Amino acid sequence: MKIAILKEMHPKEQRVAISPDAVKKFTALGADVVIEAGAGLGSAIADSSFQDAGASIAKDAAAACDNADVVLCVQAPTDDQLALIPAGALLVGSLAPLDVTTDLSRYNDKKLTTFSMELLPRISRAQSMDVLSSQSNLAGYRAVIDAVAQFGKVIPMMMTAAGTVPPAKVLVLGAGVAGLQAIATAKRLGAIVSAFDVRPAVKEQVQSLGAKFVEVPAEEADGETAGGYAKEMSEDYKRKQSELIHETLKSQDICISTALIPGKPAPELITEVMLKDMKDGSVIVDLAVASGGNCKSSKLDSIVTKHGVQIIGYSNMPSRAAVDASPLYARNLYNFVSTLMFTKEKTFLVNWEDELITGTLLTKDGATVHPMVSQIKGAAA
Average pLDDT of the segment spanning 229-235: 65
pLDDT (0 to 100) of residue 219: 55
pLDDT (0 to 100) of residue 378: 59
Identified catalytic residue from 47, 150, 229, 338: 229
Do residues 298 and 157 share a domain? yes
- Assign 372 a pLDDT band (cuts: 50, 70, 90): confident
Check if 229 is active-site: yes
pLDDT in tens, 303-329: 999 999 999 999 999 999 999 999 999
Contacts of 162 (CB under 8 A, 6+ apart): none
Identified catalytic residue from 48, 127, 207, 375: 127
pLDDT exceeds 70 at position 230: no
- Assign 165 a pLDDT band (cuts: 50, 70, 90): very high
Identified catalytic residue from 47, 69, 122, 324: 122
Q: Select from 316, 336, 356 the last residue of a domain.
A: 316
Do residues 310 and 326 share a domain? no
pLDDT exceeds 60 at position 61: yes
**Contact assessment for residue 177 and residue 133, using Cβ atoms and an 8 Å cutoff:** yes
**Contact assessment for residue 190 and residue 170, using Cβ atoms and an 8 Å cutoff:** no
pLDDT exceeds 60 at position 379: no
Distance CA 331, CA 131 (A): 9
Distance CA 145, CA 186 (A): 9
- Assign 222 a pLDDT band (cuts: 50, 70, 90): low
Do residues 174 and 275 share a domain? yes
Do residues 171 and 150 share a domain? yes
Do residues 362 and 219 share a domain? no
Range of the domain at 206: 138-316
Do residues 326 and 310 share a domain? no
pLDDT (0 to 100) of residue 353: 94
pLDDT exceeds 90 at position 220: no
The CATH number linked to 18 is 3.40.50.720
Check if 15 is active-site: no
pLDDT in tens, 6-29: 999 998 999 999 999 999 999 999
Average pLDDT of the segment spanning 57-81: 98
Check if 122 is active-site: yes
pLDDT in tens, 33-53: 999 999 999 999 999 999 999
Report yes or no on 129 lying in a domain. no
Identified catalytic residue from 15, 107, 116, 130: 130
State the SS3 of the chain: CEEEECCCCCCCCCCCCCCHHHHHHHHHCCCEEEEECCCCHHHCCCHHHHHHHCCEEECCHHHHHCCCCEEEEEECCCHHHHCCCCCCCEEEEECCCCCCCCCCHHHHCCCCEEEEHHHCCCCHHHHHHCHHHHHHHHHHHHHHHHHHHHCCCCCCCEEECCEEECCCEEEEECCCHHHHHHHHHHHHCCCEEEEECCCHHHHHHHHHCCCEEECCCCCCCCCECCCCCECCCCHHHHHHHHHHHHHHHCCCCEEEECCCCCCCCCCCCECHHHHHHCCCCCEEEECCHHHCCCECCCCCCCEEEECCEEEECCCCCHHHHHHHHHHHHHHHHHHHHHHHHECCCCCECCCCCCHHHHHHEEEECCEECCHHHHHHHHHHC
Q: How many domains does the chain have?
A: 2
Do residues 169 and 253 share a domain? yes
Identified catalytic residue from 14, 19, 43, 133: 133
- Output the CA torsion sign for 88, 93, 96, 101: negative
pLDDT (0 to 100) of residue 226: 52
pLDDT in tens, 337-371: 999 999 989 999 999 999 999 999 999 999 999 98
pLDDT (0 to 100) of residue 311: 98
Check if 130 is active-site: yes
Query: For all residues of the chain together, what is the average pLDDT?
Result: 93
pLDDT exceeds 80 at position 233: no
Average pLDDT of the segment spanning 169-198: 97
Report yes or no on 133 lying in a domain. no
